[in-house]
Structure 1
Amino acid sequence: MQFMSSWATDDRRTLLHFSDSSMETFCQHIQIRDVDCEAGGLLLGSVHGTHMLIEQATVPTAWDKRFRYLFERMPFGHEAIAQSRWTTSQGTVRYLGEWHTHPEDHPHPSGLDRTEWKRLSTKRRDKRPTLAVIVGRKSLYVELVPNSGHGLVLTPVE
């Protein structure tokens, strides 16, 4: 499976690029078989004005709750990685958002996803929108979610 690694808002004011390692993480967790559980993690990277470089997608930990149609990220593990990356990068690599999978070809956010994304955006100290990514079997869903709950959906860039 080959997803596009560069994304943009319709007005091209916000560009976003996923590193190869982030894309590999997404591809390794696609729910191909009927028994595959949802997976997810954090999106860590750097901000360049309105643009973002996603350098790492954390992988599910042993503490996360994984089911066919539900992924619940537990703080253990993910937050330690985020804190470590923040410290070693002297504050340039930071938490940008979250990703998880859906067992559908072209994923769309559920009501639960929207509620969670709004909660995460409201909690952010830097007041930036939360980057929300859903990994489907054939495509990604990418949205920048402000604390109002509905944000800008990004589309792939050739």
Structure 2
Amino acid sequence: MLTPLVLRRPDDDGFVLIEEKALQVLARHRQLHHDAPESGGILLGYRRGNHLHVTEATTPLVSDQASRTRFFRSAAPHQQAALARWRESGGTMDYLGEWHTHPEHHPTPSTIDKRGWIRICGKRRIPMLFVIAGTQDHLWIGLGTPTGLRSMSELT
């Protein structure tokens, strides 16, 4: 059984809360077999002042492209899920960031990951969350802002 994560943001006095439901999605898609492809999706939840509250993570879709060491998220279907949640919530649920897996025990972002995340932060101009799930129970969690990308922790 997973428990929610609460982390202090590295850029201010805010917190990040990742609910168990979202963590379960990441855990189900870990690359446990030598031929398992990377998986990924987006993180959805709420912005409350300086706090980010992740309540959901979308699952990989048929339109996504994946190999053992690459994942390309098809934007439109995930965006449709985010828009549906935004509408259902009366405009309060938001796109908070992205997640994907890596075929390594202690995941670390690649240059491609960092480049894509910096592009997202430049467009959004608000704090964004990025998570990489490793082959075990390890997560890399980072916070992106218009001024850069900072690791929040490498968690077990």
Equivalent residue, structure 2, for 1:143: 142
1:66 maps to what in 2?
66
Report 1 or 2 for greater relative contact order, CA contacts < 8 Å, sequence distance ≥ 6: 1
Tell me, yes or no, if the aligned pair for 1:4 and 1:156 is still in contact at 8 Å.
Answer: no
Rounded to whole Å, the distance in 1 between the matches of 2:78 and 2:154 is: 27
**Deviation per residue, 1:25-56 (Å, 9 max, x gap):** 01000111101100000100001111111011
Q: Counterpart amino acid of 1:55? A: T
Aligned twin of 1:154: 152
Flag structure 1 segments of 5+ consecutive residues without an equivalent.
none
Deviations 1:45-76 (A, max 9, x none): 00111111101100011000011000000113
Partner in structure 1 of residue 45 of structure 2:
45
In angstroms, what is the RMSD of aligned CA positions?
Answer: 2.0
> 1:77-103, CA deviations, whole angstroms, 9 ceiling, x for partnerless residues?
211110000111111110010000001
Tell me, what secondary structure is at the counterpart of 1:77? Answer: helix
Aligned pair in 2 of structure 1 residues 4, 93: CA closer, same or farther (>3 Å)? closer
Runs of 4+ aligned structure 1 residues displaced above 4 Å come to: 1-4
Identity %: 34
1:11 shift after superposition = 7.5
Match of 1:22, SS state, is helix
CA distance in 2, matches of 1:14, 1:89: 23
Which structure 2 residues correspond to residues 108-127 of structure 1 after superposition, within 5 A?
Answer: 108-124=108-124, 127=125
Cα distance 1:96–1:50, how it changes in 2: closer, same or farther (>3 A)? Answer: same
- Shifted more, 80-89 versus 130-139: the winner is 130-139
Gaps of 5+ in 2: none
Go from structure 1 to structure 2 and tell me whether the alpha carbon gap of 1:4 and 1:154 turns closer, same or farther (over 3 Å shift): farther
Structure 1 partner of 2:130: 132
Using structure 2 for the length normalisation, give the TM-score. 0.90
Whether the 8 Å CA contact 1:8–1:155 is kept in 2: the answer is no
Kept in 1: contact 2:4–2:19 (CA 8 A)? no
State the TM-score, normalized to the length of structure 1.
Answer: 0.89
Supply the distance in 2 between the matched residues of 1:72 and 1:14 (Cα, whole angstroms). 30
Superposition deviation, residue 147 in structure 1: 2.9
Does the CA-based 8 Å contact 2:118-2:149 persist in structure 1? no
